Amino acid sequence: MPDVKKIHTPLKEEEICRLVAGDHVLLSGILYTARDAAHARLVELIKRGEKLPIDLEYQAFYYAGPTPAPPGRVIGSIGPTTSSRMDVYTPQLLAAGLKGMIGKGERSPTVIDAIVKHKAIYFAATGGAGALLAQRVVSCDVVAFEDLGCEAIHRLEVVDFPLIVINDCFGNDFYKQSRAKYGMRSGAHGSTTR
């Protein structure tokens, strides 16, 4: 069983710089859900020089859209979506202060360069485990773009949310390291499927 590191949001650079690709992490604190539509709106606001509905500094985005909460629960299933869909927007959001991202699958070289430049970090959550991940969420509130439904920005409070560091602030890539270790070709890894 690998060592597990416990971290908290907001994500400060000192904490980010202690993590390396392949680390297993339990994250507690506040996360914001954000998918394609929310990313597009945030970047448009940045381009227009307008105030964002949330402060991105030291925050983390979870690329997920929660399903409706069943009776007695805080949230429905909340599994990660494919991160590459957000790649076109990510460098601008990192420049605006975002420090952490959670999703599944690989990031583009441009995003990896931006992660290094802005001392940020990218984590993977386990795909297909949305119902189990929901058990780590203790509160959920819509805080922006309510008209987007499940793709609105939600403020989540999480406790011991299980993650793996994929891209650290030093440029390391856990998917590439794993393929090299096991002699796999790019595209033969589950992280590249959509």
**pTM as predicted:** 0.91
Nearest in space to 140 (alpha carbons), one of 126, 120, 156:
156
CATH code for the domain in which residue 49 is found: 3.20.130.10
Catalytic residue among 39, 118, 154, 189: 39
Take residue 120 and report the two structure tokens written for it.
């940020």
Amino acid making up residue 120: A
* Rounded (10°) CA dihedral 27, 30, 35, 40: -130
Distance, CA of 158 to CA of 112 (rounded, Å): 26
Residues with Cβ within 8 Å of residue 114, at least 6 apart in sequence: 90, 91, 94, 95, 120
Positions of the chain with pLDDT under 70 = 1, 184-194
> What pLDDT score was predicted for residue 184?
62
Element (H, E) at 141: strand 137-144
Q: Are 79 and 130 in contact (CB under 8 A)?
A: yes
pLDDT in tens, 54-93: 999 999 999 999 999 999 999 999 999 999 999 999 999 9
Residue 178 pLDDT: 78
24 is catalytic: no
Separation between Cα atoms, residue 62 and residue 33, nearest integer Å: 5
Question: What pLDDT is recorded for position 128?
Answer: 82
Structural domain span for residue 75: 4-192
Helices (H), the chain: 13-16, 36-47, 90-95, 109-117, 130-134, 174-182
pLDDT recorded at residue 186: 58
How many domains are contained in the chain? 1
Local structure of 132: helix, strand or coil: helix
